[in-house]
Amino acid sequence: MNCRQATRFISDAMESPLNDATRLRLRLHILICPACRHFARQVDDLRQITAAYPGPEQSLTQAETPAAHASPDLDQGKKK
């Protein structure tokens, strides 16, 4: 199994269970491949992050000043 296949299986496993043989091969791959291990963790994070999606405002209004209701004060410290 290469990384391209492994990442596909990681994504598929988020949709429905893999068969036993594939799951085992995927585990072995992940055991020896830190990049795919990070990938698995990060797409799972992506799922949790997306569930908290606040709507498309920022991309549509980038040029505008944040409005009073857009809670602009949360992130000042991290912007640097």
Rule CB under 8 A: is residue 60 a binding residue for other proteins?
Answer: yes
51 lies in the site for other proteins, by CB under 8 A = yes
Q: Where are the beta strands (DSSP E) in the chain?
A: none
Q: What angle do CA 18, 49, 71 make, to 5 degrees?
A: 170
**Binding flag, residue 3, other proteins (CB under 8 A):** yes
**CA-CA distance, 57 to 55, in Å (whole number)?**
6
Three-class SS of residue 25? helix
- Closest distance of CB 28 from other proteins, Å: 15
Contact present, 70 and 57 (Cβ < 8 Å): yes
| Rounded least distance, CB 9 to other proteins, Å | 9
Q: Is 43 in the site for other proteins (CB under 8 A)?
A: yes
Interface residues toward other proteins, by CB under 8 A: 2-5, 7-8, 11-12, 14-16, 34-36, 38-39, 42-43, 45-62, 64, 66-72, 74-75, 78-79
